[in-house]
Structure 1
Amino acid sequence: MAKAKPVKKTSAGNGQIRLIGGQWRGRKLPVLNSEGLRPTADRIKETLFNWLMFDIHHCRCLDLFAGSGSLGFEALSRGASEVMMVEKDARVAQQLQHNLASLPLARGKVINTDAIGFLQSPASPFDLVFLDPPFHRELLPTVCQLLEQNGWLNDNAKVYIEREQASESLLLPPNWRLLKDKQAGQVNYQLYQREPEQ
């Protein structure tokens, strides 16, 4: 969900995202207009999934601030075994559910709840987590600590983080190792790998 490229508008006044790879490549999915909703720009998404090229197939993914679902749907298109999308806004979550139902045999689930509250529920570990929270809310430090402390990450899980360039340096669990780090416009995006604590 980036500011670098605005979501394309449709005649209905809403937007759409486009899947850029995998079995549903070229498929367009509608997105509701909602304050703070910034679908990840295609060029960032393409870079991210190039990074994940050998990791995405059969992995279990969590899209924690799902929004448009751009990252979660892309992961499903590219062979993820399961994607759980967490979205606080009820209308946006309903659109995610509608889009999920339109994709044949997609193994996904939409949960309409707050991300912090979700991470305080009983955990089921994931192989890959997408973190693209609303900008200027400083949610990432708390979310990252909860992911680590509450058992949401498998050994060697990867965590993608997208955030505003001007945000303060991010305090992360010490066993998260930075793999990739890039910038596009006013957006920083990074890929980390969790290393099991000895």
Structure 2
Amino acid sequence: MRVIGGKLRGLRLNPPNNLPARPTTDLAKEALFNILQNQIDLEEIRVLDLFSGTGNLSLEFSSRGASLVTAIDRNINGLNFLKDMAKKHGLEGIKTYRADVFKFLEMETEQYGVIFADPPYDLNRIPEIAKVVFEKDLLLPDGLLIIEHQSMQNLSNHPAFVEQRKYGHSSFSFFKKGLAAAE
């Protein structure tokens, strides 16, 4: 696992082996950021990383110039690894919170340019993520919600759904705020 772009490009990430996380593969992460670079200016963007796990995506966004990355996870070991990496590499824009993602979303009032969610694949509440994000109006205008999930899962029934991109057993489903408002 490594940082693919930005000022920390090539940095190898070696999180503790005991983390209950399934990090996004380098191949899928590279494809995701190729898509994002064509749609969003990643400089100075505010990002919410839900189910942040090892902090792999938080570090990638911050390396590419995000002004703020808020990482949410229940596992303190993953958050501590992310905090340590951020401090070691001078990434002051990464903030970590130990919380249940759904409880956090219910209380959150800030808006973000990108919300990325990488929940455990066996979580039966994955479709609720888009529902809550749009009900709580947590995306900035033209903001983007990305949910990583198993390729066999279909999240296209949400009105803000844009597309699903498959990378082996993993997929990214994209949702745009402007579409939900137009419906």
TM-score, structure 1 normalization: 0.83
Higher share of residues assigned helix: 2
Runs of 4+ in 1 over 6 A off after TM superposition: none
Quote the residue 1:65 is aligned against: 51
TM-score, structure 2 normalization: 0.89
How many residues are paired up? 179
* Alpha-carbon separation, structure 2, partners of 1:166 and 1:190: 12
Unaligned runs of at least 5 residues, structure 2? none
Higher share of residues assigned strand: 1
After TM superposition, list the pairs within 5 Å mapping 1:104-119 onto structure 2.
Answer: 104-119=90-105
After TM superposition, list the pairs within 5 Å mapping 1:1-198 onto structure 2.
Answer: 17-34=1-18, 36-54=20-38, 55=40, 56-167=42-153, 169-170=154-155, 173-174=158-159, 176-178=160-162, 180-195=163-178, 197=181
* Alpha-carbon separation, structure 2, partners of 1:162 and 1:66: 12
* Alpha-carbon separation, structure 2, partners of 1:192 and 1:171: 9
* Percentage of pairs with the same residue: 28
Q: Deviations over 1:132-169 (max 9, x none)?
A: 100111222112111111121111111112111233x3
Q: Deviations over 1:42-93 (max 9, x none)?
A: 1111111111115112110000110011111101111111100001112222
* Alpha-carbon separation, structure 2, partners of 1:131 and 1:172: 17
* Alpha-carbon separation, structure 1, partners of 2:77 and 2:91: 23
For 1:190, the aligned partner's letter is S
Unaligned runs of at least 5 residues, structure 1? 1-16
* Alpha-carbon separation, structure 2, partners of 1:122 and 1:70: 22
